[in-house]
Structure 1
Amino acid sequence: MNREESNNIVSTVRIKKESQSNPGDVTYTSLIKDELKSAIKSRRVSRGLPDVKFEPTSPARDYEVTEEEEKRRKLRRERNRLAAYKCRRKKKYKEKQIIEEHTTQIELNKKLKEEKDLLEKERERLTTIWRNHSVECSLHKTSAKMTRT
């Protein structure tokens, strides 16, 4: 490891410590960008190359935009705006339908559970009546004797 690499490592550690001690002051993205810029600069200097300026540039157009192209662009943007509006509206409508369907299904489920409970109680009541009857019924006793003989 040469001296330049060790300096880069030390500066990276220093930057990380500073960013941890002052959260919110510096973002990791800006720290990474600064670190990359300094690494590129130091490599270029060590190789004897001139310094590079790091300035954001906007893409240059080789031609002027005509009125027709500008009209088409505005029309395309307006269509896109309208399509986005319709898409958002449709999404909200579907979401509302899903919520309504969910509410309906919850209510139906609740009613079905209540009906199930009532039917279980009715079955138990009828089972109890049948058991009491089978114990007391003489016909049942006689039919049981006949089948055995």
Structure 2
Amino acid sequence: MRNRPNSVMLFAAGFGTRMGALTAHQPKPMIPVAGRALVDHTLDLLEPIAPAKTVINLHYLPHILQTHLAGRGIDFSIETPDILETGGGLRAALPLLGNGPVYTMNTDAIWKGPNPLTLLRDAWNPDDMDALLICIP
């Protein structure tokens, strides 16, 4: 189908304050789950959609994620001096993402079951929609 999203915006700028000591010295996407950082589980979901461009926003301890993700073809949108929140982070990253539809995803969750990005890809119809949201109970 034409005009499928071909870029991904990953949100990783937050402080992770609810995680307490787990994020005292690392951003929440770096918390290990099943032996791997949360962000790595998210990156696994990108493989079947093979995006042309992946951008991740950073604010809290950005150097840790930059080092971890170095060499993976990911662009960084660093929010300084202030964190921009979700909408502001996406807006600031638009020059890196290019024109057209964009997948957006948080980097602090583990998805079980079908890949949410392939579900979105397969349901996307640019003639009928401007946005598409997936909610999985």
Report the TM-score range of the alignment, normalised by the length of the smaller protein. under 0.3
Structure ID, larger Rg: 1
TM-score, scaled to structure 2: 0.21
User: Greater share of helix residues, 1 or 2?
Assistant: 1
TM-score, scaled to structure 1: 0.20
